[in-house]
Structure formats: C-alpha cells, structure tokens
Amino acid sequence: MSKLSEQVQNQLRVSDKLIASAHTHVGKVAAALAGRSLKVQGEETKATAEAFEAVILASADGLAKASADLRETEQILAAEKADDGPVRAARDNATTSVAGLVMLLRSTVEDHLGSAALATYGLGGETPRVPAKLVNHAQNVAQLLEQNPAQVTSAIGTSFDTKTAAQALKAKAAELAAHIKDDDREARELETALANRDRAAAAWSDAYQGTAATLEGLYRQAGWKELAEKVRPTQRKLRGEDAGADTEEATPAGGG
C-alpha cells in the first residue's frame, strides 16, 4: 500500500479525532441540548435528544466518508507517481539507444559514402534529444535509407548496407515509440489521479469544516466549552499542518 503524505496523514488524524469525539460524547451532548430546547421551547419542542444525536452522527458519518475517499485517492495518486519512475527510465534508455544508433549511422555513412551523402539520408543536422522528435527523425532517416539503397565495402574491408541499417533503425524507433506511448499513458493516469485526489481533498475540506463547526457549536451550547475549543476548525488543521489535540480529556462545564 502506498504511503500517504504527511499532510494527508495529519488531515486524517484530525478527522479520526473529530469522529471519535462525536461518537463518544453524542449521548450526553444530545441530552444536554434536548434539555436546553425543552426549557426554551417547552413540551412541543421537536429538538429531542434523538434529533440531536441524528445530526451529530450524520455529520460524523459524512466526514468519515470524505476521509475514506481522501485516503483512497491519495494512495492511488502515490501509486501512480511510483509507477512513473520505471516507465520514464525505460523511455529515456530507449531514447539514448536510438540517439546513439543515429549518430553511429551518421559516422558510418560519412566514412563509407562521404559527407555529401549525409544530406541524402537526413543525417546532416543535429540529432534531436526530445524523444518524440527523435522518433520522427529516426523514422525519416530509415525511410531515406530504404529509398536510396547502397551497399559498399571500404578499402579496409568494412561494409555498409542501407537496407540492414534501415531495418535496425526502424526496430529501435518502434521500441522508443512504444515507450513514449507508455509514458504518455502514465502521464494521463497521473493527471486523472491528481484531479481525483484534488476533488476528494476539496470535499474533505468542506466536510471537515462543516463537521468541526457543527460540533463546536453544539458542544458549546451543551456547556462543553473546553471540548468545543478542541474541535474548533483551524487553518492549520485544514492544511494538514496540525493533527489536532486529543478530545477525550475535556469535561462539560460544571463537570456534567
């Protein structure tokens, strides 16, 4: 399983503490809020303990779902980033191999056919280093080698055959093209994973702020002022810079 970033780990710790607080204190807080509503609205109040419990637990469940989505999308993103390394390395190795073969062909053509032949086979300019451009260049050179066949032997017995050279270059270019395709696919998958993670992070942000603000307000009205301060949403918690304080030690005002 891919490792989560420290930022997301802190955000999930904040969520876990907030959710645990809601489940731990829901009964007493709901009862206190229901008693307060009874005093304010009388016997006809619909703000019962069950109603407050439903609001608190639904809010906590919403944050739990948003946290699970954030964890999953962050893990997928981390896995995609890990996948990119070997694919990119394979593409770069293939690029080096094709560039080396093109440069070897350049010197071989010049040695066997003379410098004037370089233009005939598209070898007169610099060899591209960008993988996609290098593939196009190699394919063009291979085509020119096929269109302008030559088979020569030097004075010292070395031979050069444009047909054989074209076949070798086409094979290497095809290999590089496949690696470029793999790299492009990985780039698209990474882009998708990043977009999904960002959407999950935005949803988590809304869920965290909404749940924390709800619990803070309800705890405060129930007389749990110290606990309200501990669950209060902050920018540091939101950004994953602070995992938040433990919430189990706080007691309601008056020790209730």
Residue 105, pLDDT > 70, answer: yes
Output the pTM of the full model: 0.78
Looking at per-residue pLDDT, the higher value among 154 and 227 belongs to 227
Residue 135 pLDDT class (50, 70, 90 cuts): very high
Q: How far apart are the first and last CA of the chain?
A: 44
153-204 confidence digits (pLDDT tens): 877 778 899 999 999 999 999 999 999 999 999 999 999 999 999 999 999 9
CA distances from 26 to 33, 107, 234 (A): 10, 80, 22
Position 214 scores a pLDDT of 96
The yes-or-no verdict on residue 213 having pLDDT over 90 is yes
Q: What percent of the chain has pLDDT over 90?
A: 86
Domain ranges of the chain: 6-255
SS3 at position 159: strand
| pLDDT, tens digit (0-9, with 9 covering 90-100), for 137-146 | 999 999 999 9
